[in-house]
Structure formats: structure tokens, C-alpha cells
Amino acid sequence: MSTPPPVAEPQSEALARPTTPHDPDLAKVRAAVRGGALAYFVDQFDIYLPIVVLAPAAAYFQAANLSASTTALLASLVFASTLIGRPLGAIIFGHFADTVGRKRTTLVAVSGFGVITLAIACLPGHESIGMWSVGLLIALRFIDGIFLGGEYTTAVPLAMEWSPKHKRGLYASLITSTSPAAYVMIAAVTLVLLELLPSADVHSAYVQWGWRIPFVIGALLAAVLFRYYQKQVHEPPAAVTGERHKVPFVRLVVKYPRALGQVFVLMTGTWLATNMEAAVTPAQLKAHLELSSKQVTLTMLVINGAAALSYPLFGLLSQRIGRRRFYIGYGLCVLVIGAGSYSLLMVSDGGMGAVLGWAVLIGVFTVGTFGPIAAYLTERFPASIRSTGYGVGYSLALIAPAFYQFYLQRLDGVMPAHLAPGVLLVLAGALISLGGFLGPETKDIDMTDESTIPKLS
């Protein structure tokens, strides 16, 4: 007797059947998203090292007789040098990510910033080599920025290209929430080190060698990230990465200038708000509110902890109401709530309780733009130049906000120094809203369908 042919499963039932955890594609999705989250965490850990870790050890790299303004300027240059290097890294590594492949390019970038971070941990101080010490620090941070710019230019688009459309907002927010989480980890490590090691003068244990420990941790994290990508993460399917182009940067600038310009406006506001929150706030807490190093670190820990918890909520919100509406509304929140909370913090006299209360609002309403940003920027550009578009759009806007110290100095004669950052937060919020308004809705973009690209140009 012949065996009857199998009955075909109705298509609707097949689609409705849940994917098993052993589905190889689902496993690749999870590996890519985990890899993106780990990559973003390690990237942000490295970015924030000089702001948090070197602040109590500034005397190691600088002459003792420098004025307060010169000290602040050198500190801002250490941070700014990394930010300036990132757009260059985005162009270089974005080119190879779009022409050679996302995974291999990520491995090269991770190797580079891991080695540079370890080299910084070995730097001699001002007593040994004079001003060469801070000069080498700035130079190494610039090179570090190139590799860091390359890392997120490749790793984040790779994760988004593996992500299903209806979950891109959530997955993007889980990836970017590791940024404030990295700040929290650095702040916690620094807090413990300051508790265990004295930092009173240039010859104290923290100033001489304690600050090196977080940099070594950063280098070790880079090694872990390299190993994970090497073993676990796969190149996205060719249908998602699109046709290869020999000069993706040229194609981006020539064919998609409006998209790049709109993203530039949005990201300029985003980075301006970020610098006020991450780079300026610690100095203002110490100089104006006269908080101790431990209190400053605790306050920054609370700010970034609140931000980390808010990112997934913002990612889900953008998935529900759309990216465009989210950015228009969030920019207004930065303008009103973020700037207002910052100003009220600076005039606060209610003790640490009040400081930490305002800190929560600052964390939620200054840097929340990053919640769905990984999804939005990868949706904004076609597959064949996606890494270049994402990396350049994300990084190019870093340059103008990187010179925040100069803008604050310009406001010195107009208003008190502790209130000037609030003005820049107002400007940041306005730019975020404008950037969102100028762009299209992208949450339903099919990354494999090139026919959607004219809507994005």
C-alpha cells in the first residue's frame, strides 16, 4: 500500500507557529544583538574613561601652576580629541564595512582601540616628561577615537540588520542603554578606588597608579569583545547588506545629502546635550556646588543609571508612535525639562537628596535621544552604504559640540558659569526637535527593499 502524501500545512498556521529557540537564524539574531550591546558598552566605557577616571588624577599629566581655566581646557581637549577622531574612523571603517564586510571590519577596529587603551594605561606623567605627557594623552585619545568610530560604525548596523522590523526599536534601545550603564560601571569602579586609594596630591596612590586600573579593564573588555565577535557573530545575509559599492562615502554624499544633513542636525543636538550631561556636569558639581569627588561620582552614577533605565522605554515608545514623533517630542522635553532640571540643580541648596532628585530628571531628559538612535540611523540609509551612512551621520555631528568649553567661555560675560550649560541644553533640544521634524518616518522600513530608499533621500 502506498503512503499518502503529507498534507501541506496552511500558510497562516505556519506563519503563526512560534520560532523555536533552536532556529539557527534566531540564534544568529540573538548573537548579533548581544554583540552589538557588548560592543556599544565597551565603546562607551572607553569614551568616558578620561571624564570620570582622570578627573581626580589631572595633576599627574599637568603642571601644578596651571590656572583653573587652562586645566579645564586641557581636560576638554582630552575628551574632544576622541570625539574628533570618531568621524574619521566612521569614514575609514564604514568604507570597509560596506565593501569588505561588517564582521571583519569590527574585529580590526576592536583590536585597535584595545591596544591604544592599554598604551594609555602605561603613560608617564608630567614629572617625568613634562608637557609631553598630556600631549601624548591627547594624541592617543585621538587615535583611539578613530578605532572607536570604526567599531560602532560596523557593529551596530550588523546587529540592526539581523533584527526583525517590529523589534528594532527595542533591540536598539537595549544596545544603546549600555552607554549610561558603562558610565555607571566606570563611576562605581572609580568610587571604590577613591575609597581605597588616596588622591590628595600628585604623589598619592590614585594619582600615580590607581587611575590606570580602569584603563586596563577597558583593554581587557576589548579583548573579550574581539573573542565574542570572532566566535559568535555572523555576517548579515547578502540580501540585507545589499550590493557592494567601491566608494560608499562618495555615494552617500552625492546621492543622499538631504538625509545626511537632516541626521547631522539631529545628532548635533544629541551630542551637545550629551556633552553637557557627561562632560560639563561633573566639573560644575565640584566647582559650583562644592561636592566632594565621591559625591560627584555618586551623582553622575545616578544620572546615568536613570538614563539607562529609560532607554528601553523610549525605544518601545518610538516603535509605537514612530521615530519622527518621538524625536520631535523628546527634543521639546530636553528644551523644557532637561534644561530646567539642570538649572534647578545648579541653584539647589537642599543637600544631596535634592541633588540626586534633579539628577534623575537630568538623566532621563537630556540623553534619551540615544534610546532608538541605532534603529533610526540604520533605517535612514540604504543597505549598500548603511555602515557608512550610520557611522558618518552618528559621528560627523560630534565635531562642533566637542568644543563645548569654548562656547561656555563665550557665555561667561553674559551669565553665571553654572547656568550657561542650561542655555546649551535649550539649543540642543531645539536641534533634536528640528532634526526629527525634517526627517521621514522610518520604523516600518524594510531593510532588504531598496524601493523604500527614495522616501529616505
9 in a structural domain: no
In a domain, residue 310? The reply is yes
Is 54 inside any structural domain?
yes
Would you state the pLDDT for residue 453?
52
Residue 306 covered by a domain: yes
Q: Residue 434 maps to which CATH number?
A: 1.20.1250.20
Predicted local distance difference test score (pLDDT) of residue 457: 52
Contacting residues for 313 by C-beta, under 8 A, at least 6 apart: 173, 371
Question: At a CB cut-off of 8 Å and minimum separation 6, what does 140 contact?
Answer: 116, 119, 120, 123
Contact 272, 422 (CB under 8 A): no
Residue 3 in any domain: the answer is no
CA distances from 428 to 81, 266, 270, 317, 392 (A): 21, 9, 6, 21, 19
Report yes or no on 5 lying in a domain.
Answer: no
The x, y and z cell numbers of residue 124, run together, are: 608617564
Does residue 297 sit within a domain?
yes
Between CA 327 and CA 274 the distance in angstroms is 15
* Predicted TM-score (pTM) of this structure: 0.80
- Residue 374 located in a structural domain: yes
Check residue 15 and give its pLDDT.
Answer: 31
Residues 6+ apart with CB under 8 A from 446: 165, 452
Residue 67 grid coordinates? 590656572
Q: One digit per residue, pLDDT tens: the chain, 457 residues?
A: 444 444 443 433 333 333 333 344 788 888 988 998 999 899 889 888 887 888 888 888 887 777 666 777 777 788 788 888 888 998 999 888 888 888 888 899 999 999 999 999 999 988 888 889 889 999 999 999 999 888 888 888 888 988 888 899 999 999 999 988 888 888 889 888 988 887 777 888 888 889 999 999 999 999 999 999 998 888 776 655 556 667 888 989 999 999 999 999 999 999 999 999 988 898 888 888 888 878 888 898 899 899 999 999 999 999 999 999 999 999 999 999 999 999 999 988 768 889 999 999 999 999 999 999 999 999 999 888 888 999 999 888 988 898 888 898 888 878 888 889 999 999 999 999 999 999 999 998 887 756 555 455 5
Grid cell 541644553 is found at: 425
What pLDDT was estimated at residue 265?
97
Domain count, the chain: 1
pLDDT of residue 16: 36
Q: How far apart are the first and last CA of the chain?
A: 63
Q: 3-state SS of the chain? A: CCCCCCCCCCHHHHHHCCCCCCCHHHHHHHHHHHHHHHHHHHHHHHHHHHHHCCHHHHHHCCCCCCCHHHHHHHHHHHHHHHHHHHHHHHHHHHHHHHHCCHHHHHHHHHHHHHHHHHHHHCCCCHHHHCCHHHHHHHHHHHHHHHHHHHHHHHHHHHHHHHCCHHHHHHHHHHHHCHHHHHHHHHHHHHHHHHHHCCCCCCCCHHHHHHCHHHHHHHHHHHHHHHHHHHHHCCCCCHHHHCCCCCCHHHHHHHHCHHHHHHHHHHHHHHHHHHHHHHHHHHHHHHHCCCCCHHHHHHHHHHHHHHHHHHHHHHHHHHHHHCHHHHHHHHHHHHHHHHHHHHHHHHCCCCHHHHHHHHHHHHHHCCCHHHCCHHHHHHHCCCHHHHHHHHHHHHHHCCHHHHCHHHHHHHCCCCCCCCCHHHHHHHHHHHHHHHHHHHCCCCCCCCCCCHHHHHHCC
405 within 8 A of 94, measured Cβ to Cβ: no
Cα torsion angle, 433, 367, 289, 72, sign: negative
How far, in Å, are 257, 319, 374, 397 from residue 322 at the CA level?
23, 5, 14, 23
Q: Which three cell numbers stand for residue 18?
A: 512560534
- Spatial contact of 55 and 300, defined as CB atoms under 8 Å apart: no
Domain residue limits at 273: 24-233+246-455
Distance CA 407, CA 399 (A): 13
Distance set, CA 409 to CA 152, 170, 413 (Å): 32, 39, 8
Q: Which residues have C-beta within 8 Å of that of residue 149, sequence separation ≥ 6?
A: 85, 86, 87, 88, 89, 90, 93, 391, 395
